[in-house]
Amino acid sequence: MERVRKYSRQREALLKLLQNVKTHPDAGWLYARLKQDFPNISLATVYRNLNLLCETGEIVKLDVGTGIEHYDAATENHYHFVCKNCGAILDLSSGPLCMGFCAPISLTFAFMPQ
């Protein structure tokens, strides 16, 4: 039996925020932005909603080896380049073309494909 979830303005705002950024933010960054519109929101609420959105497939959680989880609203299959110097995460479409130039790019620049 599928669980019916209650509507939440905070969850909707979190999802819209993630859909409108391309930076793959972490929970702390999202919390700071949401706190501007929802002064009473807690970090625990942000984590709870992030986990729910991950469970429903509306967003994905990224583990890029830094110990900090990042989130992405782009749920289609794609790769990420992670800068070894600053930690920036860039989207890269998946497919045969990607496989041909991931290695040279990662050797030339300080990016590691994920």
pLDDT digits (tens, 9 = 90+) for 8-49: 999 999 999 999 998 899 999 999 999 999 999 999 999 999
Segment 43-99, tens digit of pLDDT = 999 999 999 999 999 999 998 888 899 999 988 888 787 877 788 888 877 655 555
Q: What percent of the chain has pLDDT over 90?
A: 52
Beta strands 78-83; 89-93: pairing state: antiparallel
Give the pLDDT of residue 110: 53
CA distance 65 to 14: 24
In the structure, what pLDDT confidence band is assigned to residue 6 with cuts at 50, 70 and 90?
confident
CA distance 38 to 16: 14
